[in-house]
Each structure stands twice: as C-alpha cells, then as structure tokens.
Amino acid sequence: MADNALSLLRAINWPRNSSPLLTAPLLDWLMEADSMTRRFERHCQRVTVNLLRERFIGAEEAGEDAALLPEESQYWLREIELCGDGVPWLVARTLVPESIINGPEQKLQQLGTVPLGRYLFATSTLTRDFIDVGYSAELWGRRSRLRLAGKPLLLTELFLPPSPLYASLKAK
Ligand code: PHB
C-alpha cells in the first residue's frame, strides 16, 4: 500500500496551465498555507506519522526535484504517510539539500515520527516560494518550495482516497 502510494507520488503530473477541475473547495485544500497536520486534526482525533524512509540520496536519484533546489551532491530524503486515526490520508516526500542539514536546521534530520509541520511552522523564519498543484491517477497532489531562514527545501504531498479532501468535494 505504502509502496504503491509512493510510486503515485513520484509520478505526479505538474500541468503548467490551471485545470477547470480545480474547483474552489479543492483549491481550499491544495493551497492551504498552514500545516496540513493541523488541517487534518480538524477531521479526526489523532494525526500520526508513519515513517517510510529517511536517508541521503544523490542528485541523480533526486531526479527532476533537484532542479528546483540548489545543486548539491547529496539531499536528505524523508518519505512518510500522514494518518488520520491510523488511516493513511497523505504521502509526503521532503527533499532537503545537504548544506541545510549541516547547519542550524539539523533537526530536520532527526524528526522521526514528529510531523514536519510541527517543526517548520514553529519557526519564525518560514517562507514559501510557490505551491504547484498536480495529479497522479485520480489523486490530487501539491508541491511547495519552502524556505527556512532563506534556505530552500521541497515538500511534495499526495492526498490518498480516504483523505477528507475528497469527502469535502463530494459534499459540495
Ligand atoms: C512529515 O512529517 O514529513 C510531513 C508531515 C505532514 C505533511 C507533510 C510532511 O503534510
């Protein structure tokens, strides 16, 4: 299940032009500026992280994502499932240039099952360059380039079928 979700995450299409399918309730989820962990907490008792993979990868393995980050020889990769009451609602991949990990943001490498947003949104230096909206099979995703004290990292998220995003689309 997690492997399948990660394959879909890696295969997200990023269309250049905005799609007519991007309705207001959908954009309300995809353009969420606050932490998705906090947003999910409004829809369940408990949000938890299943850690799938954390390790350094080379630029080649980082693939297209590396083009959105400064060129470095290694990137810290973190792949997780974010669960609402134990059910996977989202898969996420974070790519952090090695030089950030070696600086004051070392904590990024030691998150384990602590949701990334708990760290990022607790810092006063967080900014966002852009959010791209994409899709993979029937699922919606987004990628954001965030900056911690000016230093960039890339966060890509894919919303899985049980996520409340899809329920809110049906409700409208
Ligand atoms: C993470 O912990 O890596 C994480 C958590 C929530 C997200 C994305 C990533 O929405």
- For 160, the domain range is 2-10+22-171
Beta strands (DSSP E) in 85-165 are 87-97, 126-136, 139-148, 151-159
81 CB under 6 A from ligand 1? no
Q: Which atom of ligand 1 is nearest to the CA of 116?
A: 2
| Averaged pLDDT, 45-55 | 97
Q: Tell me which DSSP letter residue 67 carries.
A: G
Residue type at position 21 = L
pLDDT at 5 (0 to 100): 96
Span 147-161, pLDDT tens digits: 998 999 999 999 999
Residue 16 domain flag: no
93 CB under 6 A from ligand 1? no
Residue 65 domain flag: yes
165 CB under 6 A from ligand 1? no
User: Which segments are annotated as binding site for substrate?
Assistant: 36, 78, 116, 157
Span 110-150, pLDDT tens digits: 999 999 988 888 887 899 999 999 999 999 999 999 999 89
Residue 81 CA to ligand 1 center (angstroms) comes to: 8
Contact 65, 78 (CB under 8 A): no
Percent of the chain surpassing pLDDT 70 = 99
Residue 69 domain flag: yes
Residue 139 domain flag: yes
Domain of 155, CATH number, reads: 3.40.1410.10
Q: Whose CA is nearest to atom 1 of ligand 1?
A: 116
| Averaged pLDDT, 95-103 | 90
Q: Count of domains in the chain? A: 1
Residue 17 domain flag: no
- pTM (predicted TM-score): 0.95
Taking CA 48 as the corner, what is the angle to CA 51 and CA 137, rounded to the nearest 5 degrees? 70
Residue 15 domain flag: no
Residue 154 domain flag: yes
Position 41 confidence tier, pLDDT thresholds 50, 70, 90: very high
pLDDT at 30 (0 to 100): 96
